[in-house]
Amino acid sequence: MTVGNLLANLGSSLPEEHFEALVETKAFTLERIVSTGHATPPEQWYDQERDEWVVILAGTAALLLEGESAPLVLRRGDYVLIPAHRRHRVEWTDSAAPTVWLALHYRSE
For the chain, domain boundaries: 18-106
The pTM (predicted TM-score) of the whole model is 0.89
Q: Is the pLDDT of residue 11 over 90?
A: no
- For residue 67, give every residue at least 6 positions away whose Cβ sits within 8 Å of its Cβ, in sequence order, or none: none
pLDDT, the chain, mean: 93
Q: Is the pLDDT of residue 13 over 80?
A: no
CATH number, domain 18-106, options 2.170.130.10, 3.30.413.10, 2.60.120.10, 3.40.50.620: 2.60.120.10
pLDDT tier for residue 16 given thresholds of 50, 70 and 90: confident
Which of 2, 21, 27 minimizes the C-alpha distance to 103? 21
Q: Is the pLDDT of residue 90 over 90?
A: yes
pLDDT tier for residue 9 given thresholds of 50, 70 and 90: confident
Helix, strand or coil, per DSSP, at residue 24:
strand
- What's the rounded Cα separation, in Å, for the pair 27 and 5? 24
pLDDT tens digit string along 19-55?
999 999 999 999 999 999 999 998 999 999 999 999 9
